[in-house]
Structure 1
Amino acid sequence: MNRIKHRPAKRLVQLTALLLLLLFVCAIASVDSLVLTALLLVPLLVAFFDYMAAKSEPLLEVSAQTNLNMALYRRQPLQIVIKNKAKHATMLDVSVHLSNAIELQKPQQTVFINAMQQAKQSFTLRAHKRGDAQISAIELRVGSPFGLWQTNWLAAQAIQLKVYPDFSRVASKQHLNGVVNKPISGLKLTKKRGDGIEFQQLREYRQGDSVRQIDWQATSKRRKLISREYQEEQNQHVIVMLDASKKMAIEANEGSHFDHALNALLLLSHTVLKQGDWFSMQSFNQNLRWLPDVKGAQNVSRVMNHFYDLYPDKSSSDYLVAVNQLIAKRSKRSLVLLVTTLDEQSIDELMPAIKLLQKHHLVALININNRAVNEVLDEPIEKYEDATSYCAALALLNSHKANMAKLKKQGVIAIDCNPEQLLPHVLNTYLNVKHSGAL
Structure 2
Amino acid sequence: MSKTRIAAALAAAALALAACGSSDGSAPSGEGGSSAAPKTLTLWHYEAANSAMGVAWAEAIKQFEASHPNVKVKFEEKSFEQMQKTAGMVLGSDQAPDVMEYNKGNATAGLLSKQGLLTDLSDEAAKRGWDKLLSPSLQTTARYDERGVMGSGQWFGLPNYAEYVMVYYNKDAFKKQGIEVPTTLEEFTAALDTFVKAGTTPISVGGAEYPAQQIMYQLALSKAQRPFVDAFQLYKGKVDFHGPEWTYGATTFADWVKKGYISKDSAGIKAEDMGTAFIAGKFPIMISGSWWYGRMADEIKKFEWGTFLWPGNQLNAGSSGNMWVVPEKSKNKDLAYDFLDLTMKKDIQNKLGNAGGVPVAADTAAITDAKSKELIENFNKLSAQDGLAFYPDWPAPGYYDVMVAGTQELINGSKPPAQVLDELAKPYADNLADIGN
Asked if these proteins are the same fold (TM beyond 0.5), I'd say no
Q: Which structure has the greater CA radius of gyration?
A: 1
- Normalised by the length of structure 1, the TM-score is 0.24
- Normalised by the length of structure 2, the TM-score is 0.24
| Relative contact order higher in (CA < 8 Å, ≥ 6 apart) | 2
